[in-house]
Amino acid sequence: MIVGIAADHGGFELKQIIKDYLGELNHEVVDFGAFELDKLDDYPDFIIPLSEAVAKGTAERGIAICGSGVGAAIVSNKIAGVRSSLITDHFSAHQGVEDDNMNLICLGGRITGFAVAKELVKAFLEAKYSGGEKYQRRLDKIEALEKR
């Protein structure tokens, strides 16, 4: 799978850990930065290009990391076609894909430990959207909202 990843300074260390892990899982990784640790950088500068790639499909899934994961979730969901959430538990990591077709996961580099973050990413990437009628009906309503 082609997986995009991006982080600001708050997620810089976790991004490298997750990038290495994605390589171990044989995924193709597209890194949208940050490429150096700059405590004054701004998460939208990295997470908007990542989100656009996910919306266009040039990245099949996305992983956005900031300090808390909150800013990453706010900005990524502004891009039409992105369905993202801040994820801190295993159930939501896969159920968000199965029911809500989540295509981008947000993590808090200062909140979630490295080992747990890897498990969340694995659960997210292994999950598939069920396409169930009631789930699609809900997503259609969100898509209609994006077109307003």
Q: Name the site residues for ligand RB5 (rule: CB under 6 A).
A: 8, 10, 43, 66-68, 70-71
Least Å from the CB of residue 68 to ligand RB5: 4
Least Å from the CB of residue 21 to ligand RB5: 20
Q: How far apart are CA 64 and CA 4, in angstroms?
A: 8
Beta carbon nearer to ligand RB5, 79 or 127: 79
Based on the residue annotation, tell me whether 66 is a catalytic residue of this protein.
yes
Cα→Cα distances 135→37, 51, 53, 143, Å: 40, 22, 24, 12
Least Å from the CB of residue 111 to ligand RB5: 9
The answer to whether 83 touches 104, Cβ cutoff 8 Å, is yes
Residue matched to tokens 């993202």: 84
Catalytic residue among 7, 55, 66, 111: 66
Least Å from the CB of residue 41 to ligand RB5: 9
Q: How far apart are CA 111 and CA 117, in angstroms?
A: 10
Neighbours of 39 (CB within 10 A): 8
Beta carbon nearer to ligand RB5, 42 or 60: 42
Q: How far apart are CA 34 and CA 16, in angstroms?
A: 10
Beta carbon nearer to ligand RB5, 8 or 100: 8
The reply to whether omega before 34 is within 30° of 0 (cis) is: yes
Beta carbon nearer to ligand RB5, 111 or 127: 111
Active centre residues (catalytic): 66
